[in-house]
Amino acid sequence: MTVLYVVLALAVVALVALALVRARRRTGATATAPAEPLPEVLVAEATAIPTLGAPGLTERLSASRGVFERVRGLGAGRLDEDQLALVEEVLVRSDVGLATTGEVVARLRADGAPEGVALAVRDMLLAGFDTERAPREAAEPGRVPVWLVVGVNGVGKTTSIAKLAQRFIDQGKSVLLAAGDTFRAAAADQLEAWATRTGSEIVRAAEGADPGSVVHDAIGRARARGVDIVLADTAGRRPNSANLLDELAKVRRVADREPGQVVETLLVLDATTGQNALSQAREFLAAAAVTGIVLTKLDGTARGGVVVAIERELAIPVKFVGVGEGVHDLVPFDPEAFVDSLLGA
């Protein structure tokens, strides 16, 4: 039925396009029409656009920075609606999401906070982080452990791989990087620069090559040379494209075939991302059996609270967090420190 509708839609669109093309021909606006005379710069016009209609937004934004302090200042006992609203604001501002926020507020409303609000909220959030999060580094005997790194565009996959490589090298292990992002321009060059800097080996192929074959070659090479672990990069992909997710599933299957074994599939999430991160996690979990999360860019102003919702809903543990540009700026995830920073401590 849907297909039928789409085709009808297409039919009309086609007719419309046809009509427009004919119209253009008739009016003589040919393809080679010269650009109209150039007006002067009118940037001033742009700067004159008013800000949001409601007054006082700027002041309120500045005031919002104090919200975190005010919540921490709340005392023990029952909370009134204003105080609950404050808690809600803090959690929403940390990107925790409405579902979790609603739960926390409802429980505070019902139970109060005998030992102080900040502590009660902290405990509730920490209770969600109960998944096992120690990274798995060992494969079955005779197989090469592979960490597959996945995620959407621009979250920091390649940089995270470099940091993971450095981590293993610091532990005295040998690392081989598989440049499985054969789609983005110069992605392999970027990874190669990191390989050089960290002292890892790299297997790469031409742009547009099959990522599965790159990973396959990397595993073969790692086995031949007795490398301890393979870190496989993948192309960034939209979470809502079946084709791209299929391709990823295929890469994963290839990597998991003897002699390779995928022991971790890490989803890289950008801490500045909002609730979309939840759908990213859902899609990548289904397509590539994600086993852990690397939360990047936590050194900025974003708090990355959406991982609370992800761990509660999908039970995918955060394993590492990226806290800077340096190759050593990747640390194991510490729930307590994270929750404290969510609450602005």
Partner 1 sequence: MFDALSERLERISDSLRSRGRLSERDLDEALSEVRTALLEADVEFSVVRAFLEAVRARLAGAALSQSLTPGQQVIKAVHDQLIEILGAAPLKVTYASRPPTVVLLAGLQGAGKTTAAAKLALWFKQQGRQPYLVGADLQRPAAVEQLRVLAAQVGVDVFSEPTDPVEVARAGLAAARRLGRDVVIVDTAGRLSVDAALMDEVRRVADVVEPHYTFLVIDAATGQDAVVTARAFHDALELTGLVVTKLDYDARGGAVLSARGVVGRPVVFASSGEKLADFDLFYPERMASRILGMGDVMTLIEQAERAMDAEVVAESAGRMVTGTFTLDDFLAQLAQVRKMGSLGGLMRLMPGVTREMRQAASNVDEREIDRVEAIVRSMTPAERRDPAIIDGSRRTRIAKGSATTVAQVNQLLRQFSEMRKMMRQMGSGGAPALPPGMGKLAAAVKARGAEGLAGLPAGLGAAPARPAPPLGPRGKKKKGGRVTPPKQR
Per CB under 8 A, contacts with partner 1 among 250-279 are 270-277, 279
Give the Cα separation of 163 and 161 in Å (integer): 5
How far is residue 122's CA from residue 294's CA, in Å, rounded to a whole number?
A: 22
344 binds partner 1 (CB under 8 A): no
- Return the structure tokens found at 96: 């925790």
Q: Which stretch binds partner 1 (CB under 8 A): 52-60, 136-144, 249-257, 332-340?
A: 52-60
Q: Using an 8 Å Cβ cutoff, are 254 and 228 in contact?
A: no
129 within 8 A of 149, measured Cβ to Cβ: no
**Residue 19 contacts partner 1 per CB under 8 A:** yes
- Which listed residue (42, 110, 134, 206) binds partner 1 by CB under 8 A? 42
Structure tokens at 252: 């994963």
Answer for which of 83, 100, 190, 265 binds partner 1 (CB under 8 A) is 190
In 3D, which of 66, 232, 40 has the Cα closest to residue 151? 232
Task: Find the binding residues for partner 1 in span 86-105 (CB under 8 A).
Answer: 89, 92-95, 98
Nearest residue (CB) to partner 1, 149 versus 152: 152
With respect to partner 1, which residue has the nearer C-beta, 37 or 226? 37
Q: How far is the CB of 266 from partner 1 (least distance, A)?
A: 16
Stretch that binds partner 1, among 104-112, 137-145, 183-191, 285-293 (CB under 8 A): 183-191
Asked whether the beta carbons of 283 and 294 are under 8 A apart, the reply is: no
Nearer to partner 1, 38 or 134 (CB): 38
Angle at 178 between CA 176 and CA 184, to 5 degrees: 145
- Nearest approach, Cβ of residue 244 and partner 1 (Å): 9
The answer to whether the beta carbons of residues 152 and 288 sit under 8 Å apart is: no
Is the CB of 170 or the CB of 299 nearer to partner 1?
A: 299
Residues 103-142 that bind partner 1 (CB under 8 A): none
What is the phi/psi pair of residue 180, to 5°? -80, -5
